[in-house]
Amino acid sequence: MWNADGDIPLYLRVAHGNEVDSAMFGTLLADFHKQWQIDALFVADAALYTEDNLQMIVSFRWLSRVRGTLTAAK
């Protein structure tokens, strides 16, 4: 995760190459928020938009693209 001032890395987690983004995004954001405790806007791709992830970040401000395959998106 980077800041808006010059893209300075604030948080880095090295993951296994076969890890699925949608399975770890919620945990990643929750861990970052726990360490930094700042009011940030989290921006992520559509992998964030799962029920489990959204339950983990319910109190965060976030922005994500919704998968076009979801019935509600159609």
Give mean pLDDT, residues 56-72: 85
Distance CA 58, CA 11 (A): 21
pLDDT tens digits for range 16-51: 788 888 888 888 889 888 888 888 888 888 989 999
The reported pTM is 0.71
Distance CA 18, CA 43 (A): 22
